[in-house]
Structure 1
Amino acid sequence: MFRSRRSLLVRQLWKQRCITSNRGQGEGAPPNPEDLHNALRPAVHQLFKKLKDEHLWQLSEAVKSRGRWDCGCIWLPWEVRAGKQVLPPQVLLCRLYRWPDLRTNAELKSLSHCQNFWRRSGEGTTICCNPYHLSRLAAPEVAISFGSKVKSCRTVLSRVPLTEEESDFYNVRGLQDTTLSRGSIQDGHWCKLAYWEHRTRVGRLYSVTEPSVDIFHDLPKASGFCLGFLGSGPSNEIVRRTRKKIGQGLVLSNEQGDVWVYNRSEHPIFINSPTLATAPARGQPVHKVLPGFSIKVFDAEQAAHLLGCYDLGDGPCDPHSVRISFAKGWGAYYSRQFITSCPCWLEILLSTPDIVCAPY
């Protein structure tokens, strides 16, 4: 009886594999996911045989929920062999259920709620291979205009300077609403979060004291900054539609002073951060980050060279503030020229000691 239930579960897991074509990192069209899966089939079945019954059940729950709730770590030996092919199990399962075009383990990053994240390199003989305990490192996409159409590119960074209107907004209101209320690490939090709808801040500042925080609109079994509970509900139809797209939102984590964002929603997010800019660039790039990808939005070492608030050419920039728009991009190649035109966006105000914010 137990053997038949296990066989049924294995068949279900194979049927649940990802068959949606993902955009590859290289040139040309991505390979057919079905062809990739058929090539992996011997290794996949070897992996399933190595999984204990409880881990097989955990994997099934993780795949069904698509990461909407945490099913715990799923432990396997470091390598799974199928004939002459040897693959890390986490790469194998991520190819099967999330990214058929994934190539190597170097493209993956463990999330902070996974035990792998806290283990030293080379420690132990097993590794967690839960595909939803992993993110894919982002090759940031930035919009580029071709005539009347907007396309995306992974290698060219579009410089999106602050407009005069946006500069005025941050000169007059930004320093009052952010810098003066930021606080310091001594206050017990490492950042504060401000949620905006167009030019209106909704709700109070949210202080973050834990190493990581979930920011979401709708996520069962989760705690953190729930945007769905803020206010009495937007009256603007565009805001209402965008709020629904936030879904599982993102994970914000402080990793030894650097700050990472993991996009766990089903829609892209758009990020602006001074430490993502290529110095000495004029203007600030806006990075598009696809679902399932992670990106370092704040580099502590790079930020140490950015003293106070400095001028990027078209307005002041706070080197300890990050802005993220949900689902909607902004900048020179979008209909929205600046983030205050975006329906739903987030401001991350990092707590840093002894910062004096005064433009040159």
Structure 2
Amino acid sequence: MFRSKRSSLVRRLWRNHCAVTPASGARGTESGQNAEGLQNALKPAAHFVFKNLKDEQLELLVEAVESRGAWDVGCVSFPKTELRVGEHALPAQVLMCKLYRWPELKHLHELKLLCCCEESWKKDSESALVCCNPFHFSRHTVPETPPPPYSKRDASPIHSLKQHGPGGNSGPDSSNLSGFSFLVPFTFTDTTLSRNTTRDGYWCKVAYWEHRTRVGRLYAVHEPSVNIFSDLPHGDGFCLGQLSAENRNETVRRTRSKIGHGILLSRELDGVWAYNRSEHPVFVSSPTLDVLCSRTPLVHKVLPGYSLKLFDYERSMALRCAAKTSELTDGPYDPNSVTISFAKGWGPFYSRQFITSCPCWLEILLNDP
């Protein structure tokens, strides 16, 4: 590649980096100096990566950064190494994610490789390369404690049946959640929702709802992962934007406009994960994320760019064993059903008490592993 073209690509990459935010508590001139100092520390390390990328890899990185992850761009391979940034050493993939997605990022363990990345299927000892495509990663933790009405979750469930077995102390005092029920204020009458009708070869079905009305057919997922979106350039998967319905109200139309790139749903070795690709939060309720022996499902907020393990097969099996002796399974309850609402939360502390009050939501019907 001609030097002038490489220089142009590098300039485009640096022009698209995220603004560096000053540390909390800093003010005025001090905060500006901190931000400028951090940016000056990042620049040499970033240019070292750019300089050592092959031409094809540099073009891939530009495509990923300028599309903000909307395009399906391959891995950007770089030797596994740590780069000096001020007084700290950062792995190359952390540096790229810090530059283009999360300026406050500090550690590798805060990140999760997405299933679309080839490196996610390799063991650390199998390759001397790492992927530096910042859009092959999601955030793996949530640092701050959330207020009601929902619970912001990190990527791995904080309640483990190994630590909190049936009858043990497994979460908040259930007395604070009394007076609510798992019962949903409607019943399914569509026989196509029955798992007895499933064919071999897919691991879940996805139903899209607007309030109490299901829109479109069930979508069977055969591949290990699927994009569920409204507007995703060059995207394949379940496109909600193509589904039409009569008499949509303004609330539904506004919410549909926020779905955007939607979510990436993937079945991985340790369970089923959801990655929020949109610019708005999504809200999740799952049997394996609930407090054991609680009558009220918890609703978890997943911010843009974050991933959540929304279903754990091992925990699900343990919950079923516990349910055989539990008195709380009073009414229709599906241990393999996960609900996801776009942009709008629900629950006992919310104006929307039930998922059917949400304008746009998904039901994920999982097959047994």
TM-score by length of 1: 0.84
Tell me, yes or no, if structure 1 residue 329 matches structure 2 residue 329: no
SS at match of 2:44: helix
Q: How does 1:290-309 map to 2 (within 5 A)?
A: 290-307=303-320
What is the aligned partner in structure 2 of residue 357 from structure 1? Answer: none
Alignment pair present for 1:86 and 2:85: no
- Secondary structure of the 1:18 match is coil
Residue deviations 1:278-313 (CA, integer Å, cap 9, x gap): 323341110000001111000011000122877658
* Equivalent pair of 1:162/1:314 in contact (CA under 8 Å): no
1:74 aligns with 2:90: no
CA shift, 1:200, in A, is: 0.4
What is the match of residue 285 of structure 2?
272
**Partner SS, residue 6 of structure 1:** helix
2:300 counterpart letter in structure 1: H
Given that 2:112 and 2:137 are in contact with CA atoms closer than 8 Å, whether structure 1 keeps it comes out as: yes
C-alpha distance 160-92 of structure 1, shift in aligned 2 (>3 A): farther
Q: Aligned in 2, Cα 1:186/1:256: closer, same or farther, shift over 3 Å? A: farther
Separation (CA, whole Å) in 2 of partners of 1:320 and 1:64: 38
Q: Which residue does 1:242 correspond to in 2?
A: 255
Partner Cα separation in structure 2 for residue 135 and residue 194 of structure 1: 25
Mapped pair 1:255 → 2:255: no
- CA distance, structure 2, for counterparts of residue 161 and residue 194 of structure 1: 30
- The structure carrying a bigger strand percent of its residues is 1
Give distance in 1, aligned partners of 2:327 and 2:50.
55
Separation of aligned partners in 1, 2:143 and 2:294: 17
Aligned counterparts, 1:206-221, within 5 A: 206-221=219-234
1:222 shift after superposition: 1.4
The amino acid across from 1:37 in the alignment is Q
Question: Does the aligned pair in 1 maintain the 2:153–2:301 contact within 8 Å?
Answer: no
Q: Is the 8 A contact 2:180 2:295 kept in 1?
A: no
- Partner of residue 105 from structure 1, selected from 104, 108, 111: 108
Please identify, of 103-112 and 33-42, the stretch whose mean Cα deviation from structure 2 is larger: 33-42
Letter in 1 for 2:217: R
Deviation (angstroms), 1:187:
2.5
CA distance in structure 1 between the aligned counterparts of 2:350 and 2:282, rounded to whole angstroms: 14
Q: The residue matched to 1:193 in structure 2 has which SS?
A: strand
Query: Mean Cα displacement is larger for which, 64-73 or 75-84?
Result: 75-84
Shift of residue 94, structure 1, vs aligned partner: 0.2
Shift of 1:106: 0.8
Confirm or deny that 1:121 pairs with 2:137. no
Q: Which AA in structure 1 matches 2:18?
A: C
Q: Which residue of 2 aligns with 1:338?
A: 354
Closer/same/farther in 2, CA of residues 322 and 138 from structure 1, 3 Å limit: farther
2:232 matched to 1:230?
no
| Partner Cα distance (1:141, 1:332) in 2 | 22
Q: Which residue of 1 aligns with 2:335?
A: 319
Alignment gaps of 5+ in structure 2: 155-170
CA 1:295–1:153 in structure 2 vs 1: closer, same or farther (change >3 Å)? Answer: closer
> Pairwise CA RMSD of aligned residues?
3.3
Quote the offset at 1:235 in angstroms: 2.2
For residue 285 of structure 1, give the secondary structure of its aligned residue in structure 2: coil
8 Å CA contact 2:151, 2:300 repeated in 1: no
**Matched AA of 1:12:** R
Distance 1:306 1:151, change over 3 A: closer
CA distance in 2, matches of 1:191, 1:34: 48
1:101/1:8 CA distance change after superposition, 3 Å: same
What is the percentage of aligned positions where both structures have the same residue? 55
- Letter of the 1:279 partner, please give it: L
Q: 1:54 to 1:243 in 2, by over 3 A?
A: same
- CA–CA distance in structure 1, aligned partners of residues 185 and 192 of structure 2: 14
Match of 1:43 in 2: 45
Residues 299 and 346 in structure 2, CA contact (< 8 A), matched pair in contact too: yes
Counterpart AA for 1:16: N
* Alpha-carbon displacement from aligned partner over 1:338-357 (angstroms, at most 9, x marks no partner): 1110000000000127xxxx
Mapping for residues 156-235 of structure 1, pairs under 5 Å: 163=180, 167=183, 169=185, 173-174=187-188, 176-177=189-190, 181-183=194-196, 187-232=200-245, 235=248
Q: Is the 8 A contact 1:212 1:252 kept in 2?
A: yes
Equivalences, count: 342
Question: After the TM superposition, which of the residue ranges 28-37 and 63-72 deviates more from structure 2?
Answer: 28-37
Query: CA deviation digits over 1:152-186, x for unaligned, max 9?
Result: 7669979877956x72535xx14x44895224876
8 Å contact from structure 1 (residues 259, 296) kept in 2 = yes
- Contact 2:267 2:273 (8 Å CA) reproduced: yes
Provide the residue aligned with 2:11 in structure 1.
11
